[in-house]
Structure formats: C-alpha cells, structure tokens
Chains A and B, each alone.
Chain A
C-alpha cells in the first residue's frame, strides 16, 4: 500500500469537488474491495476521499413510484428494507447471495457497482494485465479461465464483473444518479453504466473523472415472480460461476439478466422476447456470439440449464 492523504467529504458536491482537485483520488466508502486492492498496490491512490459522511444513506420512496437508494446505503440494510423485500425481491435476493454478512454490513450500494473484477491475473501484480496496467497484455487468455467471461469480452480482457447486486439492478432497469464537480447531475441507465472492455479494459464505467454516484433509482415495481439464482462451487462466499436474475410475469413474459459471464450484467431485451419459448431459445439469443475458453465453455450450458430451472420455478 502506498502512502496517501485522506479527507472526509460531508456532501456529495464536496466529494466531487475534492476529487476534481486531486487527480487520481479515490472515493472510499465501505472499502471492502478498495483496501484489498490498495494493499496489493493494484490501486495506488495518492488521496482518499471518505464519503461515508455524505448523508446518502437513506432509502426513499419516489412520489411518482419507485425508490431512490442512497449511494451509502449498506448492502445489509438494502437487502433487509421492507419495501425492497416486498416490491423488489430480486434485489434483496441478489444482495444476500453476495459476499458474507460482515462484508455486506460495510459494502455500499455505489461501491458494489464499482467493485472490480476478481480475475486472478488482475490480482497478481507480477502478471501482465491490461485492466491493471493498460497495454501490458492479458495473461488470463490462455491461462486459468474457468471463472472468466464468455461474452462481451475482447482480445484485451476476458474478466467478468463480479457483482450480484448489479445483475438484479440491471434486470430492474435501475438508473445511477451522479453529480460532477461543477454541480451538474445526470442519470445513467444501468444498461449504459458499465463499459465493455474493447481495447481499454481499464476503463470500466462511463463515469467521468471525479463524478460521484449519489443514488441508484429503481423505477416502479414490475411485479411478477422475482428469482435470483446464483450458481457456485461452494454454498456461500464464492463469486458466481453463473447467476440468473429473472422477473417472470404470469403470462410468461419477463426479463432476464445474467451474471458471471460478462464484463457487465448481461441482458438482451431481444432474448427476453423468447422467454415464452423457454430457456434454450432465450439463452441462445442471450449468448449469441459468445467466445468461451475450453475452461469455461460449460457456462453456456449452465446459463441455459439455470434459466430453465428459474423459469420452471416461476411457473411453480
């Protein structure tokens, strides 16, 4: 870990301004991922802006319907929130499928979206990694890739985004609200929030330098059966090999987002049109053009099989 300076920001605007003043600074909230990365010197910020005191820790109903989740709301609190459990069960289930109780107590809503990949080559500073060090090459390709991506990947990077929460947020059409240092705000649909790696895998979101997430907004509840199915080698405390977030309506229509397969939560509205035809048709379109490795080819089958089980469960 490199020595760094530290300040506390008391408002979102102040956080964004502090970031503008300190190029290369990082916001720190729960720190559940950032601190690990700093210890390994994968992240080497010279300045940390502690945003825990920004007051963005509330979950509020939006008058016209929907829910605004403050950026600092802890994963535990979000999962346990009564409205979330009643109207957005998918989100609650995805959250408790992730990490451990201790980590969820610290981890925040915004931080969860910004967590970085768990690709083991990214985590070993001795190995080339385009995400860690732009242009250094990808040592994962041709290496141990069982956990890595099958779609949306590139010649430069085959890492996945590890979040469970983000997969549910994508299926629920959440939007990410931000503020920039000039005080301007914007709302970014989850679909657009994470970038595909292309030849710049080190740039993972559309956030601009210093842009600060203030909230995640959920639109009006969509009803339906909401199922989050996370598939992994051990029963807890493991990242998804594959996860399926689904909202299935009584008429068979619905939404599906998949985790563990791509650099971002993977959802194709065109695939959802096939839901009534079943899992094979849906996953066929969802994963069209997938480029798995020998190690992770099983994920193609696994998505289809898991989705099949989810659809069957929804039909109950």
Chain B
C-alpha cells in the first residue's frame, strides 16, 4: 500500500484499542525473566562455546605481529581467530569503522581477536595471553584542534543552507547574540551490551543478536562475512536498550560467526562493558556557534547556526543545525556544518542524532536572546513561531502546535511565578525554572507485515520490526486488534526475525508510526481476504467484536478463517507527503532545579513535558518513552560525558561507574501531557513518533533553569559544579 494522500476516516479512528492505556503485552515475560535476550538463548542439547574479544591497546597504527600460542594452549580454549587470520574484510554498508580484519588499527579497542573456549571464564582468561606488537602512529583526538582543519562534507550530508542575506540582516539587527556552545561525546550506555550467538549449518548461519534493524544487520553481516544475504537467518526478539547503538552491525556478531566457524559449534559473544564506549559507536561531540539578530519587538530577522563535529574518514556529521532550519521564523538565515578528521572510535547515531546536541545549544541561545530583548522566553518563541518551512515558505507544516504545548505547559507548570535570575532561595538551594522547545521531525520508512488469521480466531502478526523496550509488541497488537475488530488478547505478535517481512525497524522515532502502518496495510489485505472468502463486498464490511458483518449478515471471524486460515501481507510505502509537507513533532519542556549555593550541585526538582505528536497510540508506552528520554536528557545536561584522553586517543571513563548516567535519585516527579491531536499527513495511523522528541530540548531546559537559579550561564555541557562555583555567592 502506498500512502500518498492524507488519511481520511479509517478503522483506526474507532479507537477501541488503539489509543488505550494498555500495559505492554510482553511485560510479564520480561519481569519474570522468560523473555530471552540474545546472550540467553540456550538449547540444552547444544554445547555452546564462549568467545571473548580482544581490543586494540592503541588508537592508531597497525599490528605488526600477534602471538596466540599461549592463548591457544590455555585450558579449555577451542579456537583463536585474529584480525590477521581473516585478512581484510568487506565493510558493511552502514559501518564507518572496519569492525574486524586486517592489520590496520583505526581506533582504540578495535576488535583484533576472539578467543573461543568451553567456558566464558576460560575464554576471558586466555584472551589476556595474546601478545600483540604494534607500529603506533600519532592520531588526532582533540576536536578543538581538528576543527581548525574541518572540511565541508559532500552535499549528500546537506552541510549548508541559506535564505535571504544573513550577514547583512545580522549586522543591521538592533539586538544580537553571538555565542559558542559545546556538547561532549556521549555513550548509548544501554543496559544490555551488544551480544550475539552464531551457529553454522553448512554454509548457512543463524544469528541471535541484539539489533534494532534486522534487515540492515542481515545485509551487512552477510557482506562482512562474504556470504549471500539469503544464507543468514537473524533473530532479535528482545533488546535490552539500543538508543541507536544497535542500528548497525557490530563486531559481536562478526566474532561469533568467525569463532563458530573455527570451533565448529555455536559461539556466544558479548562485548565487555568497556567496549561499549571505545569499540562501538557514540554520539560525537560538537562545537557550535549561534548568531541571532532580532528587532526590539522580538521578531527574529537573522538566525545562523554553525557546527563542527569529528569522525573517522568517511564518517558522518553530527547534524546539529538541522532543527534551526525549521524551528523558528526569520527571513535571513544560514546554517553550516563542518567535519573534522578524528581518530577516535566511530561517531554515529544516538537517540535524536543531531537534534539533541543542536537543541542543547539553540534552546540556550533562544533563552539568552529573550533575556537580551527583555521578553519572556515563551513569548519570544511564540513571536517567532512559523507554520511553514522558513527556508522554503511554500512548504507548510502538516500540523504544528508548538504554541499550544508551550502555553499549556506554562499554565500547568506555574511559569508565571518565575523570578529574575538568582532571586529565589530555599535554605541552601538556589531555585530556578527553565523552558525549552522540543522539536523533532517525523520520519517514515517502508514497513512490511504479515497477518495470519487462524481457525481459532487468533490474529498473528509477523514482522521483522524490533521492540527495543519501546512497546512495539503492544502497539502492533493494538493496531491489529483494531483493524480486525478483536480484543487484544486475540492477537499474537512475533517480531525481530529475518524470516518475517522487512519493517522500518527501530530508530529515528520512525518505528511506531511506520511499523503500525505496515500492520495496517497487511490487515487491509487480510480484511479483503476475509470479505472475499465470505462473499462480502469489502467496501461495506465491518470488523467488530470478533465478528465480520455485512448488511444484516454476521459471521464470527474464526469461522471466516476456515480450517486453513487466511493471510494478509503488505508493505506500507510512502508517497511525497513528507516532501510537500514538513511533518514534525513538538513539545515544551519545563524544569525546576535547585543548585546548592555552596557546592554548585544541581538537583532537578520537577519536570514537565507537553507534547504534540499526532495520535498517541498508547499513552502508557508513549509516556514511558517520554520520561525515559527526559531522564536521558537529565544525564546529558548534568553528568554524561565521554572524557577524551587527547594524548592516547580513547574514552577514559569507559564503564558505568565513570560514565555517569542519571540514577533514580537524580530524577524527580516527571509529568507528561500529550496534546489531543491527529496528523492525517503522517500515515493512516495519524500518529508520529515520540521516542526522540522526549530528549529534544530537555538539557537546554535544565541549563536555562540553572541560569535562572544562579545567574551563571554555562554553554558547555555537561553543566557540572566546577563550571558553576566560581560564579556562586561566597559562603566561606
């Protein structure tokens, strides 16, 4: 089915199941430990072997020799496969850094060997016996240094944009801001590390893994191993968090495959925690410059946003200026992104890639500009709202209610009680509030599904869609239940298997809307099959209460299925509505913080997000996405930073003790309000994503609250106490 005209009334609008606060259907299997994550697959009849990876001890150079004799002789060791043994491998389409193979070292902890043994402990112990000689080369690891030689990447990355005459308008503006901001490298730090089990059967391989994107992985896994994609069967039914870190093939899968081939039995490989920072991908740091010019009445006349980020050769930008192209009005505009060559691990997508760091800067800049103008920051945003793409004014937004979010949020939060900076004290706490806009585009990808109707009346959905903790199982079940007119307990959902139709997968907040639309399309096919079977005219048939009705004839759905059952399969594809109309999601983040007047410690006291994201398919799972993202934003604002050793070229704090994500004690009451709206331009579901929207702007709202509390403006994240105490009142 192709979605190329705005949705009209359809069965989803009944909202009998869709839109209801239904608890996750896979929740019990997870809380009782029955949900099997990748490393946990275990067949009692199979003797699994355990692989342990070895990472490069240098950041750049090449391996001159490896001595594996001691490792091979160690107790229980079945095989050792080194990067030299396998030689150069073809890189996956979605990989920047080479995962394995050859002598070149591109980054610290690049995988250089896997030791396979009868037990995990034997493999780990033997891994340290491998001796490696390197020819080390001096790399470049400091973004500030590398940024001086940054280049404009090719046009496919859309590095520049412009409208009007920014320079002239900025010069002429009576009120201007010109400020620089910095965001650090960040780690996905998901709970479940990357893990895989590979089992060969002749020239075919089965991979149990932890992947957000089944088909992307399948293709890149085959390409890296040099085998046909059809020879790969990949399964990833449960994923313990991804945040973008599991979008692309990782080395656990490759090492498991080589290890399994070498020892002739299935091999399990999980990446040790330090590998998550230095072996896999991370969100790249940015340096940003924002210039805004405005009339005294608050109308923006010029807005410019530049960003510098680094990556390995052929790597991508951290697209931190994209939101500025769309969020606020202003006739004269420019954005530019430049890419610096760094020899750190590969930078790549992490939840709200580009948007998160971009808004960390932009939404402080807006706060600063509002203060310069003497205008409330919410009012300033309202003055500069736009209902069209400001770079292409003929392109309207499909639906945009940023103003509604900000106004409702202000009312619920008690925004009008906000005081001047450093004007509110409660004991040792300096109290402040901050606001930021949340803004993230709605993306769609083709998404397929197969829906079976059994003779027992059970509707079974099969799609290679993944559930990375987001609630995909549940919203897909809701969609099928709504479409087929059955209770949700009559729906079974099977995900994450490459034998199923290719879906959008999980990423870019496109998963929920795209995958349910694919299920919608497949259900339309199944409804047609049911109608055909019953001799009904499919135009006037009604699926309701487990029955199929046409005119005054009603047949139970199970009966319609017949002994052999019926199947509907389709893929939702997308016309040009995302080009003719800018489809985005919006929100307002409101935060209250306390800053300890003596120590500068910031503790968040309350958080509110008001979101406009089309139809909310399930308010429970959507809320979970929001509060999880707000929690991630709290870490991003206050503590998360992969600390770079710029001499040795690695992220030093590569474990969960050193890389400080927010803990329970950091998170106060979080309130989430969804605007009651639909967007018929987005899909038949009229829904949009929320998974990344929730992160967009949170950190800036916290930063602005810290400024309101203390009068100290910090423009480089994370906002740790050392950046504040110099500006706090004397307490000694």
Contact = CB atoms under 8 A, between A and B. Distances in A.
Contacts of A270: none
B306 to A, nearest CB: 27
A241 B603 CA distance: 16
A143 B599 contact: no
B726 interface: yes
A309 B730 CA distance: 11
A304 B274 CA distance: 35
A309 B728 CA distance: 13
Nearest to B722: A298
Contacts of B655: 123
Pick from B603, B647, B721, B732 the residue with the most CB of A within 10 Å. Answer: B732
B732 A305 contact: yes
B601 A305 contact: no
Contacts of A241: 721
A118 B665 CA distance: 22
A143 B645 contact: yes
Interface stretch (A73-81, A218-226, A229-237): A229-237
A144 interface: yes
A127 B649 CA distance: 11
Given A124-B654, A143-B645, A309-B428, A231 B732 contact: no
B598 A306 contact: yes
B652 interface: yes
Nearest to A233: B639
Given A308-B732, A312-B731, A302 B725 contact: yes
Contact of B599 (A146, A238, A279, A309): A309
B140 interface: no
B669 interface: no
B599 A305 contact: yes
Contact of A235 (B603, B645, B726): B603
B731 A237 contact: no
B720 A233 contact: yes
A301 B725 contact: yes
B662 interface: yes
Contact of B663 (A126, A235, A301): A235
B559 interface: no
A276 interface: no
A234 B662 contact: yes
Nearest to A312: B731
B233 interface: no
Main secondary structure of the interface of B (DSSP, over half): loop
Contacts of A3: 75, 125
B533 to A, nearest CB: 57
Interface in B554-606: 596-601, 603
A195 interface: no
A186 interface: no
A279 B603 CA distance: 24
Interface in A275-316: 278-280, 283, 298, 301-302, 304-309, 312
A187 interface: no
Nearest to A231: B599
Given A41-B128, A305-B598, A280 B645 contact: no
Contacts of B599: 229, 231, 242, 302, 305-306, 309
Contacts of A146: 643, 722
B225 to A, nearest CB: 28
A121 interface: yes
Contacts of A127: 648
A235 B665 contact: yes
B725 to A, nearest CB: 6
A136 B731 CA distance: 43
Interface in B710-732: 718, 720-722, 725-726, 728, 731-732
Given A124-B274, A144-B645, A309-B598, A1 B726 contact: no
Nearest to A2: B125
A142 interface: yes
Nearest to A121: B652
B553 interface: no
A234 B665 contact: yes
A236 B660 CA distance: 10
A96 to B, nearest CB: 12
Count chain B CB atoms within 10 A of each CB in A232, A279, A301, A304 and give the residue with the most. A301
A118 B655 CA distance: 11
Interface in A125-161: 125-127, 139, 142-144, 146
Nearest to A306: B599
A233 B654 contact: no
Nearest to A126: B57
Contacts of A238: 660
A236 B653 contact: no
B660 A233 contact: yes
A120 to B, nearest CB: 5
B168 interface: no
Contacts of B124: 1, 39
A168 B603 CA distance: 25
Interface string B596-623: 1111110100000000000000000000
A301 B722 CA distance: 9
B21 interface: no
A234 B647 CA distance: 28
A279 B644 CA distance: 34
A181 B473 CA distance: 62
A39 B274 CA distance: 12
Given A124-B654, A233-B639, A309-B598, A301 B726 contact: yes
Contacts of A233: 601, 638-639, 660, 718, 720-721
A26 to B, nearest CB: 17
A35 to B, nearest CB: 12
Contacts of A125: 128
Contacts of B647: 142-143
B539 interface: no
B657 interface: yes
A236 B666 contact: yes
A139 B665 CA distance: 33
B724 to A, nearest CB: 10
A283 B720 CA distance: 22
B664 interface: yes
A234 B645 contact: no
Nearest to B122: A3
Given A41-B128, A118-B657, A234 B663 contact: yes
Interface string B354-394: 00000000000000000000000000000000000000000
B121 interface: yes
B658 interface: yes
Given A1-B121, A236-B665, A280-B732, A120 B725 contact: no
A237 B655 CA distance: 13
B653 A234 contact: no
Contacts of B648: 127, 139, 143
B588 to A, nearest CB: 25
B663 A308 contact: no
Nearest to A125: B128
A259 B517 CA distance: 57
Contacts of B662: 234
3 pairs of A and B residues whose beta carbons are closest in the complex: A309-B598, A298-B722, A235-B665
Given A1-B124, A234-B663, 18 more contacts: A1-B121, A118-B658, A120-B658, A123-B655, A125-B128, A127-B648, A229-B599, A232-B601, A233-B639, A234-B660, A234-B662, A236-B665, A302-B725, A305-B598, A305-B599, A305-B725, A305-B728, A309-B597
23 contacts: A1-B125, A39-B124, A118-B657, A124-B652, A124-B654, A143-B647, A144-B644, A144-B645, A146-B722, A231-B721, A233-B718, A233-B720, A234-B638, A234-B662, A236-B666, A237-B665, A280-B732, A302-B600, A302-B721, A305-B725, A306-B599, A308-B731, A312-B731
